[in-house]
Structures are given as structure tokens and as C-alpha cells.
Structure 1
Amino acid sequence: MHVTAIDRYEIEPGTLTEWTLAPTDELVRSDVPPSYNQQFHLETARTHGVGASVWMAASFDLPAPVNRVALRRTLELIVRRHDALWTGFEVRPDRITRLTVPPHAVAVTPSAAVEFGDTASLRTHLRARFTEVCDPLTFPAFLFATVERAGSSTVLAAFDHTIVDGYSLVIAIRELRQVYELLCATPDIADEDVHVDLDDPGSFMSFCVEESAEEDVDASDPRIRAWARFYESCGGTAPRFPLPLGVQPGKPAPQASDVRSILDTQDTARFEEVCLAGGGAMFSGVLTAIGTALRREGAPALLPLQFPLHTRLDPRWEGSIGWLTTSAPVTVRVDRPDDFAAALADTHSSFRSALNVLGVSMPQVRAGVGDGYRRTSTDLFMVSFIDYRRLAGSEHHRSINAHHISNVTVCDDAQFWVSRTTEGLSIRSRFPDTPVARDTMERFLTRLAEVLTEVCDGRSTLQQPEADLVLVESAV
């Protein structure tokens, strides 16, 4: 899975068709509340309004023109499988209400075809249409599209963030491809027989219900105390990127993005070997490299940040499309930017401690820390890591040209998505589009490449592995 942003998405031009959900019944109000993540996202969307749509899209290629009958049926079956796709929201100043449509009352309608002769114009059009349709304050907040050529096609599925997380895009690609190929091969197969061949999709709305019923966790709980200490180290708010970005917290600027490979396959394997030999793991090694690069650019020795993790450990939601993530705090300590081994050991210890806070949700954390946390910015300093090789269906990602595509909106902090695939390690960066931030990010990313190269070349001191260390890696 290649992780990128819409302004950098390289798609071959062709004939575009949109496939839009057209409900055949009225939306009705539901007692199921939005999840914590959904509520936060909807309140932010209401604040920033049109043009700030935080959508994510998945795309993959087919080796032939689209079988339109099979694709239309595929899209309808996928929508009916996942209850996150049946819902929208009515957002008012005093409340947020979920609206739903019955799963049997959905139909997908193709638009008239439009020809695009170059990548830039197609990319611009897709960005505008996804931003318009994938609006969390409308229903449906998702859109399917195909781009057809003489010998191939690209299928795209774009969703507002209220509906999906990054893991969901992998599920969407796997199921869309699996169902489409099945219907092409056996067009007379009954719907119920198609579902038999797929994993249980679970119910994201059930997750929302269970989350809303959680009881508060006492402030004396060790997990709440750990969060309180973390927020205190950040000045009573969320962590901030430690180098200048040219914006004030709470005053987002237009967003810039950067997508680059940072290690090839061979060097990624070498980097992992070094991390394991030093008593760490791949993710703690990546965090240490980021902390070292920032330290060399003048950042403080202590680097607090948050990282997302999926909450799909319960098998009921393992195959669900939905926003099923939480967050954990970690502090990277780099006393000496030339001693990767020492920093790695400290980072991995902090990472393992961070996993101890799991089991309390972010609503429970915010309630537990109370006045110990105040929101001062729209975004926070975050590093995400995902090893796509571990996810079902990833063995096909390269052959089908699978992409995770994010919108370019506004932001007031820097965030990073590090991904590992069979091609190696890459990083997508999101940061304010200011001269200061662009200069900062280029220097930082250059330093990061420098640190990674040094580690792979063996120019950093290493300690012996701890025999009793249990390695646990993030798989967000």
C-alpha cells in the first residue's frame, strides 16, 4: 500500500465515472451516539467549514475495463455489509444526532462518463469532488469512482474520516476486489452466498454504543496518572512539534505535504536487525531516529508525542469499516544525538510503558485528567506506524497498485505516517504550508535520512540485546 496525498497521487488519466449512493428511503434519527473520534471530528468540521474535509481514499487497479454490472452490485453489497456506511450526522450547536438509512434501501448510481487526458486535471477534479461529497455534515459522506482505459481501470473509494480509519481502507480494498472478482466469475451467485465467502464485518455502531456506556475511570488509576504526567510535560495540552512551523496554535494554515521513501527493502531489513540487536523494535527504532534527527536540528532532548493504535483486538470489530483507533503517549529521550543505541533503549522502554495505558479510552482519559488537559490547537504532534505486510490482502497490494490517499486541508502542527511495505520504509508528512515550515521540514527529513543511513551502515554504537525483553510493535 503506497501512502500518499492527493496532490502527489500519480494516476493514469482516462474516462472517469462516479458511482454515488442514492438512498431509496428516508434517513431516520438513531439513538446510537457518535463515537468520541467522530464527535471530535464533527466539531472540528463545524468550526472550519467547507474546504477542510478530512477524507481518505483507497485505490487499486484492475487489468481490464470495468464490468459495470458486477461493480455496481459489488458497491451495493459492500455498503450493505458495513453499518458505518449507512449513517450521517445532524450537527447542531447543542447536540450531534446520528441519521441512518436501512441497509436494504441503498442503490448505487453511475454518473455520465467524463474524459481526462492528463494526470494533473484528473487529480484536481478528484480532489474537488471528494472534498465536496465526503463532507461529514452531509450524507452520504463517501463516493466511489472508476477511471477506465483501453487495457486497465482504477477503482477509487473515498470516505470522510468519520467513516473510516487507515485500517478500514485495507479492508475496503480487500473486499471490493474479492467481491468484484467473484461476481465477474459467477454473475448468478446470490447475495447471501457472496457474504459466506467474506469475514464477519462486525458492527461499528455497536462499538459506538459500547464506548458511550463506558464508566469514568478514577483519576488515581495508574493509566490516568500516566496520561496526566504526559500532558503536564507538554504544558497541560497536547504535544507540539518542537521546531518552528510559522503558525500559532489554534490558527491553522493551508497544509503542505511530503511523501518520500526513506529506506529500501534491504536497508529496512538491516535497520530492523539493528533495532532488535539493540533491544528495541522497528517502531521504537523509527521514533528514535526521528528524535535523533530533531535533536540534531536543535530540538530539546525530551520529545513527547502521541501515536495511534487500532482498537480491533476484539474480534467483533476486526473486519469492520469504521474509525477504530485510540492514542498512546510516548516520550523519546535523546541526550546524545550521536548515540543511537542509548536513545533506542530509552525509547523502547517508554514505548512499552505507553502500552500499559491501553484499556482506557480517550473519553475516559479526558474525563480522568480533567483540568490537567486543555485543547489549545487543532492538531497535535503525532507519528503513526503501520506494517502493511501484516494485514490480510497486502500480498496483492503491489500487483494491484494499491494506494492510501489523503486530502490536503489545513493544519497547525506536523504529523507523520511511516509505513512499511515489501518495498521498504516510507514517510508521509503533513505540515503547515509556510516558508518556515517548508524549510524546517526539508532540513528535518534530510537529517532523518542521514540518521537512518548511519544506523544501517553501523556508524552508531549498539548495546547487547536484553534477553528477557518482550517485543511489542505498533500495528496501527
Structure 2
Amino acid sequence: MDELNVTPGLLTVWRAVPRGVEQGTPQGVEGAAGWVVDGRAASYVQEAHIAGALAGGRGAERDPAWLATAFELPREARAEGGDTGGGGNGVLEAALLAWIDRHESLRSRLVPEKTSRGGLRRDTLPVGGIALRRTAEGNFTCGKSLASRIEEVFDAETDPLDWPSFVFATVEHTDGHTLYLGFDHSNVDGYSILLIAHEIHELYAAISSGTRAALTEVGSYLDFADIEREYAALVHTEHAAVVRWREFLGSGGGGLPEFPARGRGERGDRGGERGGPGGPGREQIGGCERLLDADAAHAFQRACRPHGGNFLTGVLTCLALAAREEEQGEGEQGEGELREGELEWESGEFRALTPFHTRGDARWAHSVGWYVGLAPLRFAVRRGDSFADILTAASTALDGAGEMAAIPFPRVSELLGRRLEPRFVVSYMDMRRTPGARRWGEWKAAALRSRRVHPDEVYLWVNRSYDGVHLSFRHPATEPARHAVSRLVAGTGRLMRRIAAEGVPGTAVHVQNVLPRDLVPARQQEPAPC
């Protein structure tokens, strides 16, 4: 939030309550009318997320884990009906309620209770079963103070152990209105966040004009979670994907990958599963860098395709080469140079985890939920390899990765009898296909994430939009980590610009993707991890 240019103004917070709950009744009250016991199971990622929160105990201070979006609303948007009452029927309120009705997962809660299908019981409210209660927080004249207050609200009211674990805010200012929506991760994934601005704008326009919103029908994440749970329960310890996970762990000394480039002075001790550059409880920091403009992004993709690669495998190749150079101490080299260092790269391969969406069926395409699985990624980056060699290796490594991601990561951990915690994750998303993407600039749309405290996680998000390619990142707040990550990002950008300008040699390779129909990512020009 503190990196967002927040326009000051009048802040109003909107909280969901079960319809019929009188003003002043505690939100999420267990006995509220309307909740119906729902036999559909929690997804594995939801259960693991909530179990992690429960481990600290109810009422415990825990790190927030929210995702959020902010965007401008039509200038005429008003929160009609009073400052604190729940009975207003303004267009904005109607649009927000219609959006909640559209996505059943927001009308459902998970209660810790042992069932035949996990450790959580699901209760659900029907369509129309939610009202919104508004509270005017006052007028803010300082954007930074306002951003801080919105972040405080998100931190406090997106608790995965309470319902609702989401909260909305509007800011009325001289330029119009801005809407902020924050959700605990159990409700949404990154792609869900990108869908929100378009849907609420469409609903607002339709309600204003008395027409039907131009939105496709969506499936319920609750149905997906139930199907996934049934499928994952059939996976056993000798399933091919589980065997590949076991081999992946074994090839890395028994642990998951960590960030490959440690920075000078950090080359000695790599620590254990929780070791790393940050130390216990280290606050994470991050940033975002533009790697390519739109024209260069097209040129980069065209350069990779004749050699069996695509945009994602090209990005991974550049990351691997930049990491090798940083590990070898070659960070001072000139623009786009690929000369070898005097030292052998410590591991000789690039290792990371990469997320894939699991929106395999058309009904999940625009559904709000946590449709993400993790896959292991490992390919050689040997001395003397050309870009095309590594591009081929990266493409081969991704072959079948979607099948592995279709098995929920917590289920893999369960089958392997290991507590596995991702530490180095590389995500790619082509956001151009997202409904409304061409209007994000007009709406001043932004995607946000909560702060993170972790001793050694490094996350990289490569996002392609109509404006080009950006790399967002976070890492432990230490100078060695900052140095290593910033150099890796800069080196990756240099290599991508070189390939866009000069092209690459290479050998073609065919990448296949086979998954169960209900869970397979839709075939696209590029893989679309999230």
C-alpha cells in the first residue's frame, strides 16, 4: 500500500454481514440466520492456509496474507443510504452485492471441525444472503496516512479464521471515487484480483442503466474444491507426479530450491530448510521493474518461438543465465554480454517452484477462488551452453509441469510425509487476456499484496500486459539479498533486451501438457502460471 499513490479523501469502510443481522451484531456471528451446512469440502490449499493460522491460536497476532485491488469508479458513484446503515440501495452498493452473489466462495465460511473429508466444515449463505454495513472513517488530507489506515483495515479484517475474511473501502475525492477491496488469500488468487475491476464496472453500468451486465456465467470455486479434493484423494505415493516430486527433492539434497544468487559475502553457508540470508522473522521488501516495452516483448517472443521456446521459457532462460552470472561474480559485465566466468556455477542447474493455474474447465475461467498449484522446475545451465541450449532445457523441464501442479501442493507434502515450504518461486502471467485489461490504465487499476515476514523467501512475478513486461519481487530485507535480487533482475532485463534485438540460435522442442479435463489449464499460446 505504501507504494501506491493514494489520493486523499473521505474514507468509508464496507463490511459484509449475513442479511437480517441487526445493526451492531458482531460480524461473522456463529448463530446468524441464513448459514446452511454445505457438504462440499475445502480445497487443500484453503485447509493448509487455515491450519497454519490455527497453529498460532485464535486471537494470536499473525502476519497478514491478503491480496487486494484498487481502481477508480465512475465519478457519479455514491454510497447512498447513509454513513452507517445497512439499508441503502445505491447503485454502488447494489453492484458490490451483485458481485458477491456472483461468486459463491465469498458467501461461504470454513469452520474448524473434523469431517470425513478434512478438518473443516463448510457453511454457505444463499444468493441474496449478504448485506453491507458501512462506516464513515472520516476525511483524510494526507495520502500516506490514508494508505496506512486502509492497510490497517485490511490487516485486521482479512483474518482467515473469521468471516468475512474480506473487506471493502471507498475513498471519495475531488477526482471521483476509488474502491479498495482486500481479501485473505483463502478467497482469491492473483488472477481473481485482476478480474474484479472489470466485473464491478460492468455491474455498476448495468444497474445504472437497468440492463443486464455483459458478463459470462461463472462456476463456483466450491464445486471446484470438491472435485479437486475427490481427485487428489485418489493420488497415492507411487503416482507418477509424486515420484517426480520425490526425485526433485532428492536431487536438491532433500529440500526445496532456494534463491540461487546469494550476493557477495553470502557464498558460504546456505543453511537448512529455514536458513538463508534473512535470519528468523526477517521483514520482506520488494519492488517492481520494467523489463521490456510492448514492442520488445513481441520481438522477444518471436525470437524464442523458432527454437521451440515461448515467452515463459525464454524468461526462465534469461533468469537462469543471469543467476549463473551473479553466482559466478560476473555481475559487473557489460550490457547483454554472456561471457563465462572463471568459476564453475555452484549447482550447474536452475531450480525453482513455479505456480500454474488450475482453471482447466471453461466454467472456472472467470471464477473467484484460489485456483493455483505448484510445480517443480529444474534444468541444466552448464558451462558453454548457448541460449538455445538452455531454452530447450527449460522447455523440457516445463513438459508435464501442469500435471504436477494439478495435485495440490499440501497433498504432495502429505504423501511425502514432509513439511514443505516454498522458498524460491518464479511466477509468470500474461494479463492481456484478462477481461478489461485494456482499460486498467483508464481505471487506475492496481493489484496489491500484504507485507510479509519471512527469513529466506524470494518471490519473482513476471507479468506481461499491453504496456510491456514487468518483474515484481520480494525478498528478505538484508543488504546481501537486496544486492543479489536487484542484480538478478537487472541482468535478466539486459538479456531479454538483447534477445529481443538480436534473436537466438537453438534447437526446436515440442512441449506437451496433459491433465485431467476438469483441472487442466486451457490451451493457450503461452503457459499461464499465476
- When normalised by structure 1's length, the TM-score is 0.88
Change (3 A) 1:205 1:129: same
SS in 1 for 2:443: coil
The partner residue of 2:161 within 118, 133, 137 is 137
SS in 2 for 1:426: strand
Deviation at 1:63, TM superposition (A): 4.5
Which residue identity does 1:430 align to in structure 2? R
SS in 2 for 1:146: strand
Distance 2:414 2:408 in 1: 10
Give the stretch that moved more between structures: 122-131 or 441-450. Answer: 441-450
Distance 1:454 1:47 in 2: 48
Q: After superposition, where does 1:262-341 map in structure 2 within 5 Å?
A: 262-298=291-327, 300-336=347-383, 339-341=386-388
SS in 1 for 2:297: helix
Which residue identity does 1:37 align to in structure 2? V
The partner residue of 2:7 within 3, 12, 37 is 12
Change (3 A) 1:248 1:361: closer
The partner residue of 1:202 within 201, 219, 223 is 219
The partner residue of 2:149 within 114, 117, 125 is 125
Deviation at 1:128, TM superposition (A): 1.0
Distance 1:112 1:410 in 2: 31
Q: Which residue of structure 2 aligns with residue 52 of structure 1? A: 63
- Whether the aligned pair in 1 keeps the contact of 2:413 and 2:420 (CA below 8 Å) is no
Which residue identity does 2:303 align to in structure 1? V
Distance 2:108 2:119 in 1: 16
- Whether the aligned pair in 2 keeps the contact of 1:74 and 1:183 (CA below 8 Å) is yes
The CA RMSD measured in Å over matched residues stands at: 2.6
Q: Which runs of 5 or more residues in structure 2 are unaligned? A: 22-31, 80-89, 275-279, 328-345, 513-523
Query: Is residue 2:256 matched to residue 1:212?
Result: no
Deviation at 1:249, TM superposition (A): 4.2
Q: After superposition, where does 1:82-121 map in structure 2 within 5 Å?
A: 82-91=103-112, 95-121=119-145
The partner residue of 1:258 within 283, 287, 304 is 287
Which residue identity does 1:318 align to in structure 2? A
Q: Which runs of 5 or more residues in structure 1 are unaligned? A: 1-5
Query: Is residue 2:518 matched to residue 1:474?
Result: no
- Whether the aligned pair in 2 keeps the contact of 1:51 and 1:409 (CA below 8 Å) is no
The partner residue of 1:233 within 245, 251, 259 is 251
Change (3 A) 1:50 1:91: farther
Deviation at 1:335, TM superposition (A): 1.3
Deviation at 1:122, TM superposition (A): 1.6
Distance 2:138 2:109 in 1: 28
SS in 2 for 1:457: helix
The partner residue of 1:407 within 444, 450, 459 is 450
Q: Which residue of structure 2 aligns with residue 37 of structure 1? A: 45
The number of residue pairs the alignment matches comes to 458
Change (3 A) 1:409 1:47: farther
Question: Which deviations, in whole Å up to 9, do the C-alpha atoms of 1:102-141 show, x marking residues without a partner?
Answer: 4432111221152222321121111111111111111111
Deviation at 1:14, TM superposition (A): 2.1
SS in 2 for 1:258: strand
Query: Is residue 2:198 matched to residue 1:174?
Result: yes
- When normalised by structure 2's length, the TM-score is 0.80
Question: Which deviations, in whole Å up to 9, do the C-alpha atoms of 1:311-353 show, x marking residues without a partner?
Answer: 1111232232111111222213221487322211111121124
Give the stretch that moved more between structures: 115-124 or 96-105. Answer: 96-105
Which residue identity does 1:307 align to in structure 2? T
Distance 2:490 2:405 in 1: 34
Distance 1:224 1:346 in 2: 21
SS in 1 for 2:442: coil
Q: Which residue of structure 2 aligns with residue 3 of structure 1? A: none
Q: Which residue of structure 1 aligns with residue 395 of structure 2? A: 348
Question: Which deviations, in whole Å up to 9, do the C-alpha atoms of 1:352-406 show, x marking residues without a partner?
Answer: 24245355444553455x24xx2254x4211111111112222222221221111
Distance 1:432 1:358 in 2: 26
The partner residue of 2:260 within 234, 239, 242 is 242
Distance 1:428 1:7 in 2: 15
SS in 2 for 1:7: coil
Distance 1:226 1:132 in 2: 40
Which residue identity does 2:262 align to in structure 1? P
SS in 1 for 2:353: strand
Question: Which deviations, in whole Å up to 9, do the C-alpha atoms of 1:201-250 show, x marking residues without a partner?
Answer: 21111222222223332444333322221122233332222233888644
Q: Which residue of structure 2 aligns with residue 163 of structure 1? A: 187
Instruction: Compare CA radii of gyration and give the structure with the larger one.
Output: 2
- Whether the aligned pair in 2 keeps the contact of 1:53 and 1:136 (CA below 8 Å) is no
Distance 1:348 1:18 in 2: 47
Change (3 A) 1:227 1:145: same
Distance 1:128 1:363 in 2: 30
Which residue identity does 2:218 align to in structure 1? P
- Whether the aligned pair in 2 keeps the contact of 1:333 and 1:346 (CA below 8 Å) is yes
Give the stretch that moved more between structures: 91-100 or 236-245. Answer: 91-100
Higher relative contact order (CA 8 A, sep 6+): 1
Q: Which residue of structure 2 aligns with residue 149 of structure 1? A: 173
Which residue identity does 1:9 align to in structure 2? L
Which residue identity does 1:234 align to in structure 2? G
Q: Which residue of structure 1 aligns with residue 72 of structure 2? A: 61
- Whether the aligned pair in 1 keeps the contact of 2:285 and 2:475 (CA below 8 Å) is yes
Distance 1:172 1:263 in 2: 26
Which residue identity does 1:211 align to in structure 2? E
Query: Is residue 2:98 matched to residue 1:77?
Result: yes
Question: Which deviations, in whole Å up to 9, do the C-alpha atoms of 1:3-33 show, x marking residues without a partner?
Answer: xxx2322222222211111223515554433
SS in 2 for 1:410: coil
Change (3 A) 1:225 1:469: closer
Query: Is residue 2:510 matched to residue 1:463?
Result: no
Q: Which residue of structure 1 aligns with residue 464 of structure 2? A: 420
Query: Is residue 2:500 matched to residue 1:453?
Result: no
